[in-house]
Amino acid sequence: MFLFVFSLPSSSVAMLNRGVRTFLFALVGFFFSVIFLPGVMIAQTEIEGEVTGEWNPEGSPYILIGNAGVPEGEQLIIHPGTEIRSDGNFRLSARGQLVIQGTPEDSILFTSNAEDPQDDDWLGVVFSVLIEEEPEISFANFEYARNGIELPFGIIHDCKFFNCETGILGIATDRNLPEIVINNSIFDGSTECGILIFNQARASISYSLFKNNSIGISFFVFGDQPHWVINNTIVNSEFAAIAAGMDNGMINVYNNIIYRSLQDAGFFGDFRNNCVIHIDDEDEEPMIVGEIVGVNDNGFSCDENGNFSEEPGFVGGEPFSYQICPDSPCIDSGFEDLEDDEDGTRRELGAFPVTQTDEFELVMPEGWSMVSFPLWIPANRIDYHIEPNIDMENLILMKDDSGRFWAPGFNFINIPPHNHHKGYLVNMEVEEVLDDLGIFIPANEPIPLEDNWQIVAYYPEREHEAPEAFENITNNLIIAKNDEGRFYAPGFNFNNLPGLHRGKGYLVKMEHDDILIYPKDNDE
C-alpha cells in the first residue's frame, strides 16, 4: 500500500474544502429529493392503460395512476408477494386472462395508496362478463375497494377482504354460466355486503368467516337457479347475516353459525341445521328459527329443520377467534344429507371444523365402577353421547358425586350437563365398551377441587403412581380412592392405589379448595 501526502497552501486547501463540501451537499440533496419527495417511492411501477406480462415483488408496489386492463387474448400474471396500490378511483380489469394466485407464505395485496384509506377508495379488480376462461383467485388480500372483486363466474379461495364497500360482487347476465365458488375466505368490515350475488349469477359459499359487515351475504338474483351457503361463520352483522328476497332462486343455507346479527332480514330458502343467535334474542328464539318441535342429536331444542339457538362456544383469541371449542353444541350437529367431515365424523357447524381423530375405548365393567371421559364431549350431553354407542339395556344406573343420577330403565335423568373435570359411578348389567372418537383433553387441564368428597377424571395417557399424579395437591389431599377401595393417604404416608388409568374415575377428599394438575404427557 502506498500513502501519498500532498502539501498545499492553506488558501488552496480552504478552496478545495469549500468545493468538496458544495459537491457533497448537492449530491446528498439530490438523493434526499429522490427518496423523500411526497408521492415518490423506491422501486415502484406506475400503471395505466393496457397491461400484460408479469408483475412480481421486485417491481412492487405497482401504482394504478389510471384505469388498467388486460386486453382480450392477452395475459397478466401477478406473482406471490406482489403489491398493487391504487392512487385514485381506478380499476384493474380483465377481458383477457388475469392470474392472481398467491401462496400461504406470500399473499398478493390489492389496496389503496391513500394516506388515510377508506372504503370505496378504488374500484377493485373487475373481470368482464365476456371473459371466456374461468378465473381462479387464491391467497390474495383486497382492501378499501368499492368491490374487492367483481366477476360473473370463477373460483375464489383463501382470500381476505378488509374494509371494502362490498368484498365480492358476483354479477352475470347469462344464467347458464358456471357458478361462483367461494371458500376458505374472510370478509371483515364491509360497509355494504361481504358478498353480493346479483342478476343471473349463481354462487356456492362455504367455510368462510364473515365478521363486522353491514350484511354478510346478499342475494338479488332472478330465476330458480340454486345457491349454496354451507358451513360459514357469520358474526356481528350490523343489519343481517343473510338477506334475500322472494324471487331469489333456491337458496340452501346449511350448517352455518349466525351470531349476534341485529335482526332477521327477508329470507326465503331451505334453512337447515344452523345455530342462530341475534343481538335482540335474549329470551326467545330468532324469527328465522322455526317453531321448536324437538331436540337434535346433541340434545338441544330445535325446529323441524334442525336449527337451534345456543351459544356456539367460540375459543376466542386470534387468529382463530371463531374456532369452536371441542365441547361446542355445534360439534357433529350438521345436516345429515351432506358428506361427513374429513375426519369421518358428522359435520360441525361453522367455518372451522374440529378435527376429531383421537380414539379411545372406555371399558364399563359389570357391576359398580368409577369412570371418566378423557375426550371432549360435544355439547356436554353425556346421555346423548352414550346412548348411540352401547346397549342401553345394560346400563342400570349412572350417578355423579352429588347423588344425581340417570336410570334409563325408568326413563329418568337429573344429571346436569357433563363437567369434563368429573367422573361418574356406574352400575352395569354386563360389561360394555364404548368406542369413542374425538379430541383428548390435555393431560394437564386444571381440575378445580372443593373441600369435600368428589369424583375426579383422569386425563393423562401415561399411568402415574398416586404420589406423582397428586403431587401438586399433596398438602390438601386427605385421601384418594379407586372403585376397588384401594387408596392413597399422604398424611399417613400410605399408598396401595395402583397406577392411575385413563378412563377411570377417582374419589378424593380435600382439606381445602385446590386445583389438581396432572403431569403432562410426553407429546404435549
Mean pLDDT of 400-409: 94
pLDDT at 338: 86
Give per-residue pLDDT as tens, 224-250.
788 999 999 999 999 889 988 656 568
Contact of 107 with 141, CB cutoff 8 Å: yes
In the numeric block, the cell 395437591 is attached to 473
Note the pLDDT tens digit of each residue in 33-69. 333 344 444 569 999 999 999 999 999 999 999 999 9
Q: What percent of the chain has pLDDT over 90?
A: 63
Give the residue with greater pLDDT, 264 vs 302: 302
Bridge partner list, 172: 199
Residue percentage of the chain with pLDDT more than 70: 86
Q: What integer pLDDT is reported at residue 111 of this predicted model?
A: 98
Q: Indicate the average pLDDT of the chain.
A: 86
Which has the minimum average pLDDT: 17-26, 94-103, 157-166? 17-26
Whether 187 contacts 210, CB under 8 Å: yes
Q: What is the pLDDT of residue 106?
A: 97
d(CA 294, CA 444): 38
Hey, which bits of 51-185 come out as E strands? 53-55, 62-70, 75-78, 83-86, 91-94, 97-101, 108-112, 124-127, 136-138, 140-143, 147-151, 154-157, 160-162, 166-172, 180-183
pLDDT digits (tens, 9 = 90+) for 283-294: 555 656 778 888
Whole-Å CA distances, 373 to 31, 343, 382: 70, 20, 9
For 127-140, what is the mean pLDDT? 93
Question: What is the pLDDT at residue 249?
Answer: 62
Its sign, for the CA torsion 137, 138, 140, 144, is positive
Higher confidence at residue 226 or residue 17?
A: 226
Three-state SS annotation for 285-347: CCCCCCCEEEECCCCCEEECCCCECCCCCECCCCCCCCCECCCCCCCCCCCCCCCCCCCCCCC
Distances (CA, A) of 376 to 126, 307, 327, 337, 458: 46, 23, 5, 25, 13
Give the pLDDT confidence of 419-471 residue by residue, as tens digits.
999 999 999 999 999 988 888 999 999 999 999 999 999 999 999 999 999 99
* Placement of cell 367460540 in the chain: 314
Amino acid 268: pLDDT? 62
| Mean pLDDT lowest among 88-92, 110-114, 134-138, 352-356 | 352-356
Q: Which residues are within 8 A (CB) of 91 and not within 5 positions of it... i.e. 6 or more apart?
A: 64, 67, 68, 69, 122, 123, 124, 125, 126
Contact predicate 138/159, CB 8 Å: yes
Which pLDDT score is estimated for 12?
Answer: 38
pLDDT at 417: 85
Sheet holding 226-230, edge to edge: 53-55, 75-78, 97-101, 136-138, 154-157, 180-183, 203-206, 226-230, 250-254, 270-272
- What's the confidence (pLDDT) of residue 108? 98
Does the pLDDT of residue 179 top 60, yes or no? yes
* Residue 503 cell numbers, joined: 378412563
Predicted confidence (pLDDT) per residue in 311-344, tens digit: 898 887 655 578 888 888 898 888 888 887 776 7
Average pLDDT over residues 359-364: 93
Tell me if the pTM is above 0.85: no
Whether 13 has a pLDDT exceeding 50, the answer reads: no
* pLDDT above 70: residue 523: no
DSSP 107: -
Which segments of 385-443 are extended strands (E)?
A: 395-399, 405-407, 412-413, 424-428, 432-438
For the segment 197-208, what is each residue's pLDDT rounded down to a tens digit? 999 999 999 999
Q: Which three cell numbers stand for residue 39?
A: 408521492
Take residue 392 and report the three cell numbers written for it.
342401553
Q: Which DSSP state fits 284?
A: S
Among 154-168, 281-295, 367-381, the minimum mean pLDDT is found in: 281-295
Average pLDDT over residues 167-171: 97
Cell of 175: 344464467
Pick 513 or 132 by higher pLDDT. Answer: 513
Query: When comparing pLDDT for 381 and 171, which is higher?
Result: 171
The H helix count followed by the E strand count for the chain is 3, 44
Q: Which of 163-177, 187-201, 262-276 has the lowest mean pLDDT?
A: 262-276
Flag whether pLDDT at 307 surpasses 50: yes
Going by C-alpha positions, the residue among 195, 140, 198 that lies closest to residue 165 is 195
Average of pLDDT values for 402-419?
Answer: 92
From 142, 146, 135, select the one nearest 169 (Cα to Cα). Answer: 146
List C-alpha distances in Å: 83 to 39, 49, 108, 139, 143. 16, 18, 6, 13, 12
Q: Which residue has the cell 363466474?
A: 153
Distances (CA, A) of 254 to 28, 276, 467, 475, 476: 64, 12, 51, 53, 51
